Structure 1
Amino acid sequence: MPIFKKEFLGYFRSPVGYVILAVFHVMVIGLALYSGYYSRNEANLNSLFRPLPWILIVFIPAVGMRLWAEEKRSGSIELLFTLPISPRSAVVAKFLAALAFIGIGLCLTFSLALTTGYLGDPDWGVIFAGYVGALLTASAFLSITAVCSALTKNQVIAFVISVMICLFATLVGSDWLAQFLGNSAPTAVLDFLRLLSFEQHFATMSKGLIDISALSFYIVLTLACLGINMIVIER
């Protein structure tokens, strides 16, 4: 809990945290309105959820790049582990603190859901499933970023590598990649790639279907990356 409080409040001790939240909110709401939120005359948040994974590709690494890189750069990581704190506790506390900050960013976008409820009669179950999918996607991206941050002292390097990995993980199995490959790849290969695609799993949940395969994908990937993070810190 002390590490969680330190990390979570650290986002608000400088203007950077407020700037990140403001930019994220403006980007998400702006893209939703630009993609025809009002002109569609539909009581749903498809225009919000459609571009959300692509925004998270940049937003999550911006939040998580400092988790371990800053500790290693300043040398405070040695001080941290002289305290009676296990690497597991430190990894989980830092991860949950960053995830709580990301949760605040997602909550800011709920203003569009309230607007939808005021103007129409949306299916709140679908909206809830979409936000669950967004939080699970964010947690998986954050666990990847945490590993990258633990491998370097430079926050910029951690950010760039995290963005590249998250972008690749989103493109794998996407409809765009399937159209690009065309008939050159077997159907079985494309189906397998879809099982590894963030975009496909998030699209399923944003339609209101909390699929077991999607939940398993996000949970297993997040736990695996946190395990790798612990190994890197211990060594």
Structure 2
Amino acid sequence: MLKSSKRMVMTVGDSRVGKSTVMKLLLELYQIQGKRLKVYDHDNRDRLLAYKDLVCIEKIDFFNKQTDRMFIDLVAADIDIILVDMPGQHIDKICQYIVESELLEALAEYGWKLTFLQPISHRTDCIDYLTQIIQTATNNANYVIVKNYHFAPEFREYDEKMQKTLLTIGGTSINLMALHRNHYQAMEKAVKPYSQVCQDLSIILFWRSFIFQWIKNFRNSVINNNLAIKYLGLD
């Protein structure tokens, strides 16, 4: 059996809630710690293109039986973290895939832990999505919610309807602070890892300073949360 410190982290959630953004922020944290990574990307928009020279990224289609190679990685000795960017929406298909592929059983057999990483907005759909994920995986997985403040200053639906349930099963939440749309667009247009954008002189210093603080705030939200550190394989 492989080391129990190995972890698969799946980003799940609605479309356009920040899944790829959170994944890119995490990629740099893993790089800092020297984690050996493998990334599977279902998205066909090349949102992770800027990181292709830093980490092995493979395209995958979860709905066309292309996932055998992901299971092969469970016995690889040179991988610590498998990051999986699941498709937006399609929650029924995703839960069906988890059950039919016996993913939870395979991970347990080879000593891997599973974490669902879900960015949320203020929409009720996010709560429905999380509910289905929890009903499918129950306590066989860990859960990290990312409150994306780009969408709203508060998360009333989550706080009132879901937070208690999440805490009961040992889940936790971290924060992704809002970033001005112009700053974010400049960052994405640069097609560079986020930390390198902060050194890009083609972007005005005022914007780069906000981007730097945005990255720093996210990292602090993670490293100041012991559960998040554990569930994301950063311990």
TM over 0.5: no
Give the greater-gyration-radius structure (CA): 1
TM range (shorter): under 0.3
Whose strand proportion is higher, 1 or 2?
2
